[in-house]
Structure 1
């Protein structure tokens, strides 16, 4: 078997999924692709089950909030092929008003807590998740703290005024 590199990997993906992969980048040598939420489970399953690729290790699931974009929530999956020693990042952009995506718990049991954490901090609903509830924040919390919807500092704070520092 030839050494698996980013070019070979993207060749496999484009052969199997073609136009379903909407963006391909390689920041700092890490292959990053963008796909739709309708195809995410089939792409994840392909990467995991393919005998040559063997991306059996789900490293992380998280999200990023881009408040200026129409599709403002990006769910990000990091996979690692331990056999081939190569990683891939997969991004799925969702509507911030109703961020819903299929759950990856059917592929990896370890996705359970990663998805709960992403729900807890970003409000992403993982459809089909067996127990989607808050994991780190209090159950009564009604906001999602990692969204960039609030000012970083309280504008009414007086302890940071220049006159306190002799300016």
Structure 2
């Protein structure tokens, strides 16, 4: 099933207003949907018999920088039996230092593989996946300061007396 047919199925189920932005120019076309709808849309894509996206390939978090003011979460979905792929995106406002992290619903109830993908995005980009069963750092120590893939990340000079910035 191609991108346009999947897009039409999503619109028929959730309405025109659910698609905030389409990118058909990329090698992997995508739909940007509201963060508060991501769990519901992913559940539909997973259980809909014509689609059956049974595999969450990857979740990527991207900081678009302070000037743009958004963070993106990108979901790469695959249907192994049908051999089709689909990309969904969510854009949330970027938080300033000292403010709560941007919130996106967790998709771990649908795909267990989301567990580590979401933890990685939390750890490196600073996205709070609401409803995640164990949201804690996965690559960095629990007491590490900041999120290294943020565009404004400032490396700490020392960590527990060890020089980390050269």
TM-score scaled by structure 1? 0.83
* Aligned equivalent of 2:57: 59
After the TM superposition, which residues 119-134 of structure 1 pair with which residues of structure 2 at under 5 Å, given as runs?
A: 119-134=122-137
d(CA) in 2 for partners of 1:24, 1:84:
23
1:14–1:129: structure 2 CA closer, same or farther, 3 Å change rule?
A: same
Deviation at 1:120, TM superposition (A): 0.5
Task: Tell me if the contact between 2:147 and 2:153 (Cα under 8 Å) persists in the aligned partners.
Answer: no
For residues 6 and 48 of structure 1, the distance between their equivalents in structure 2, rounded to whole angstroms, comes to: 16
SS of structure 2 residue aligned to 1:109: coil
What is the aligned partner in structure 2 of residue 113 from structure 1?
A: 116
* CA drift at 1:151: 7.6
Residue 139 of structure 2 is aligned to residue 136 of structure 1: yes
Question: Deviations 1:10-40 (Å, cap 9, x if unpaired)?
Answer: 1111111221111122234423000111100
Deviation digits for residues 78-108 of structure 1, max 9, x if unmatched?
1011222221111111121131111111111
Higher Rg of the two aligned structures: 1
Aligned match of 1:43:
41
Q: How many residues of Structure 1 are paired with residues of Structure 2 in the alignment?
A: 148
Instruction: Determine whether 1:85 maps to 2:67.
Output: no
CA distance in 2, matches of 1:9, 1:80: 12
Gaps of 5+ in 1: 153-167
What is the RMSD computed on CA atoms of the aligned residues?
1.6
Q: Structure 2: give runs of 5+ residues left out of the alignment.
A: 96-100, 156-166
Deviations 1:113-142 (A, max 9, x none): 111111000110111111111101111211
User: Which one of the candidate residues 64, 72, 84 is aligned to 1:74?
Assistant: 72
Residue 160 (structure 1) aligns with: none
Q: 1:26 aligns with which of 12, 24, 46?
A: 24
Deviations 1:46-103 (A, max 9, x none): 1000000111110011111111213x11011110112222211111111211311111
